[in-house]
Amino acid sequence: MMEGRVDQVQQESPKEINFLLAEEITRETGNPILSCFQCRKCTNGCPLTFAMDYYPDQIIRLIILGQEEEALNSRTIWVCSSCETCTTRCPNGIDIAGVMDYLKQKAHKRGLVNYKNNPSYAFQKVFLDNVLKNGRVHEPKILSDYLFKSGAWKQKLEDGSIWRDVKLGLFLLRNRRMRLFPPKFKTNGHKFVNSERN
């Protein structure tokens, strides 16, 4: 069984190595990507490796080797929650969470992701749009936008779990644990000011 995998690896053509992506990320983010010596502290501290197709140290290695397509198309960059555990553990001062954010932006700009095939992307986009619009998180709006953009509402409707969510939402509204509409904010320069207090 193992021989089949070895044969398959030997038949693959060698990939070209270039440092352009690593140099670009270093220039744009200030992260010294090429100083990574693969100690794996980032991966060993990451709480989400169970859901990743490449570990954080492997993403850094793909960048160093110039394997841009693999890095940008990986599930890992979208699974990363930017908790920064990897960043704090890196002995070389690489902001790995920042690198993941850079890769997300690059994949988005190149049109490599969409809402339907990437629920992590859908949630991140909905969350950031909501904060940008309201100045804070409004959970009911995030949930409804996420369900529609990701297409998850269809599955919830089919399996009936949407009614459980509706009951929970009504309970939270009745007990004033959730607002139906976000509080109104007015902007004052770059800061959001709660108009209910004024």
Instruction: Check pLDDT > 50 for residue 1.
Output: no
Q: Kindly report whether the global pTM for this prediction surpasses the value 0.85.
A: no
Average pLDDT over the chain reads 85
Tokens 């690593």 locate to 22
Residue 114 domain-assigned (yes or no): no
Query: How many domains does the chain divide into?
Result: 2
Answer with the one of 60, 90, 109 that is the final residue of a domain. 109
Average pLDDT over residues 161-185: 88
Q: Is residue 44 part of a domain?
A: yes
Same domain as 186, residue 129:
yes
Mean pLDDT of 110-137: 84
Residue 10, in any domain of the structure: no
Say whether pLDDT at 19 is over 50: yes
CATH number of the CATH domain containing 42:
1.10.1060.10
Collect all residues with Cβ–Cβ distance below 8 Å to 18 and sequence separation of at least 6.
66
Q: What is the DSSP string of the chain?
A: -HHHHHHHHHHSPPPPP--HHHHHHHHHH---GGG-----HHHHH-TTGGG-SS-HHHHHHHHHTT-HHHHHT-SHHHH-----HHHHH-TT---HHHHHHHHHHHHHHTT---TTT-HHHHHHHHHHHHHHHHSS--HHHHHHHHHHHHSHHHHHHHHSHHHHHHHHHHHHHHTTSS-SSPPPEEEETTEEEETTT-
Whether 6 is covered by a domain: the verdict is no
In a domain, 9, yes or no: no
Domain that holds residue 132: 119-194
Over range 132-161, report the average pLDDT. Answer: 88
Whether 69 has a pLDDT exceeding 70, the answer reads yes
pLDDT of 157 > 80? The answer is: yes
Q: Are residues 23 and 103 in the same domain?
A: yes
Q: Is residue 3 part of a domain?
A: no
**167 and 187 share a domain?**
yes
The verdict on residue 164 lying in a domain is: yes
Q: Are residues 97 and 19 in the same domain?
A: yes
Same domain, 134 and 52: no
Q: Please, which pLDDT band fits residue 179 given cuts at 50, 70 and 90?
A: confident
163 and 99 both lie in a single domain: no
Residue 99 to residue 58: CA distance in whole angstroms: 13
* Domain identity same for 134 and 73: no
- In this model, does residue 34 exceed pLDDT 90? yes
Is pLDDT at 196 greater than 70 in this prediction?
no
Say whether both 139 and 90 belong to one domain: no
Instruction: Compute the average pLDDT of residues 15-41.
Output: 91
**Rounded to 5 degrees, what are φ and ψ at 185?**
-125, 145
Specify if 178 maps to a domain: yes
134-150 mean pLDDT: 88
Express as a percent the part of the chain with pLDDT over 70: 86
- Verify that 99 and 22 share a domain, yes or no: yes
**Residue 189 pLDDT grade (very low, low, confident, very high; cuts 50, 70, 90):** low
Predicted local confidence at residue 164, as pLDDT: 92
pLDDT class of 6 with cuts at 50, 70, 90: very low
Same domain (yes/no): 94, 168: no
In the prediction, which pLDDT does 2 show?
43
pLDDT band at 181 (very low <50, low <70, confident <90, very high): confident
